[in-house]
Structure 1
């Protein structure tokens, strides 16, 4: 391989020299300053350098061949060691298999011997049991006959006692049913009372927790025909279902029993006129307009206990002005 490469390189060099010589000859006429010997000297210098490079490459190739031969020998040695190890392990496995087969054979022989001994012992035990059972059966037969006769007489006695017990059980069952009926009635009555009491307590607690309030004002000034002041402009309300009735009649109807607080401010130009807070037509608070001023704003308030359907309202028999006449009712408890 190296010789072929060297031959190719020499051929290339010769061709370069020939072409260079011809080129030099042709150009010598036009370029008098270029020397033919100078050109050949440069070509030879390049050939020497090229040969030096070829020698370096050939040395590297030789080193690689040495390394490859060394690696190949190491691989052959390792493969041989692995082969020897594998064969040794196979021999050990063969020995283990032979020992296992010998152990299994010995165990099988011992098992057969033990099985034979157990079978012989079993047959002897069965024969002995048969002989003993035959003798004991005759003895037990006599004892059983005596026991049966005794049991027959006792069964007759038990039958008589059972009849007596049956009549007693019927009487006890009747008494028990009567007591159970009375207990059920009492228990049902107790449950009903408990349920009613619990419902009442829950309703009371629920009513106490419910919020009821309203704030309203007079929409237009006038004298109301039945003296019940209508606060028809509702600014705030909560917990009231019959709000339309309150706006049209002027009467607050209690939907949730409890303690209520009522406060009103009556603005009027009538001097020294009395007005009232009434519960179910009964006066619970009263106030009067100022007797000195033409226009006056007059407060009135009260705390009252209301039950379901009770009414609460302001009664005034004189002119009420709309600007500052307002009412507030709130459930306290």
Structure 2
């Protein structure tokens, strides 16, 4: 581009000079030789000056273009450096996200395994305690039967001995003996009934195989039942109604919907005993684990906390459960 302009300028100058010389030639007849040479020299000086100015402009333009090209090279290098830096940052972020995800999965599995192991140990301990109580009750019942046999033998011996006495003594003794024996039998029957009442087994374990959206104060319905000894749990309402008084142990495993909060209360006769609140990313799990001293007819259930509308998550895997049993 610059060469073309230079060539055009030179051509223009030569054309002008030629035209000027031609014009001067026509006036040679009227001008002296010295005057002509002076004019030609003046033209050449002017042309040389113009050429010098043009060369300076060309040098200035070349210097400016060189600087601009150098700056463009620097910008290109900076762009390449920035691109490499951005790629490194992107790789670091992807690596960090992947490591964080793997760590979260590992922590969740570890926590789940620990909780499962802990609940298994608790259940084993409780079943051992229940077996020990049952064994103690069996031994007490055998002891009662042994005493009953002993009393019956003693009564039979006394009855024989009283038969050898006089009719009056026998009659009086029979009256007193029958009264005492009747009282003993009634007392033994009462003790036996109380013992049977204490040995009444109450246990239930229920689950839910689908999600449930809860409004404020709405009950969680665990409509699937694995165990319901004593018929204390009602799967259509989600309420446990204590058929016998005593200490009861309740546990529950809960799961929130994906990236949703969950707030649930375990209630006794409509009063909140404890609350479980889940908050954070992804699916969250929570538990209830309480021991309550119930009277016959007391009602226990799980419901959405007051002022909360939430969804409890489950599917065919049965993520959420509600269980309880009578300890003694």
TM-score (norm 2): 0.40
Higher helix share: 1
Higher RCO, 1 vs 2 (CA within 8 Å, ≥6 residues apart): 2
